[in-house]
Copies of this chain bind each other. A is one copy, B any other.
Amino acid sequence: MPTPSRTSLDAIVAAGRAVLAREGISGLTMRRVGEAVGVRAPSLYKHVPSRSALIRLVAQDLVADIARQLDDAANAGDPRQALRAVAFTLRAFALSDPHGFDLLFTHLPADAAPDTSTFASAVGPVLRVATDLAGPDHALDAARTLTAWASGFLRMELSGDFQLGGDVPGAFEFGLQTLIAGLECRQT
């Protein structure tokens, strides 16, 4: 006889995000997520085909959040201000959910990586800022330079790779100014 589901895809993804935030990717197991939604691990397969698919859903949920925040930031004042706002927004997100941020910039197996269209929503705001600063001809190159620097910096910060001391927020500010100056100074 038909029985209503005791959980839902939304609840599973939300629980996945919570478990990820608390325990990191290696702690994001089917048994733990099941526990968080009040069901045994095998039952999760009624809603999700595999752990990889669950990871993808969690990643897409994270990207959607970031995209929303970046979109707001990209509207802040002149191009320089907008770029700064984008960078600080990303850093705030990374510090607020280190494991979540880690997941997005970690090399995931193909069946766990969010698809192209998901990323596009987060790339949009960055591309807009890059166009304003570097011109349409160099927008893509500039966006890649900015994203590479920011993601690299924040990953290193979260991993504790800045072991030589010094002022880490200051280094973030320095990088930001260097990139802005470079985009404005470079000939053609």
Contact = CB atoms under 8 A, between A and B. Distances in A.
Contacts of A136: none
Contacts of A164: 123, 140
Interface stretch (A11-19, A30-38, A71-79, A171-179): A171-179
A162 B182 contact: no
A156 interface: yes
A184 B145 CA distance: 17
A144 B158 contact: no
Contacts of A113: 159
Interface in A143-188: 144-145, 147-153, 155-156, 158-159, 161-164, 166, 170-171, 174-175, 177-186
Count of this chain's copies in the oligomeric assembly: 2
Interface stretch (A1-9, A43-51, A101-109): A101-109
A119 interface: yes
A148 B153 contact: yes
A148 B141 contact: no
Contacts of A153: 144-145, 148, 152
Contacts of A119: 161, 163
Given A145-B174, A149-B175, 18 more contacts: A102-B107, A107-B159, A113-B159, A116-B163, A140-B164, A141-B166, A141-B175, A144-B156, A145-B175, A145-B178, A147-B156, A148-B153, A148-B156, A151-B156, A152-B152, A182-B182, A182-B183, A182-B185
19 contacts: A107-B159, A108-B159, A119-B161, A140-B164, A140-B166, A140-B171, A142-B174, A144-B153, A144-B162, A144-B174, A147-B152, A147-B156, A148-B148, A148-B175, A151-B155, A151-B156, A155-B155, A178-B186, A184-B185
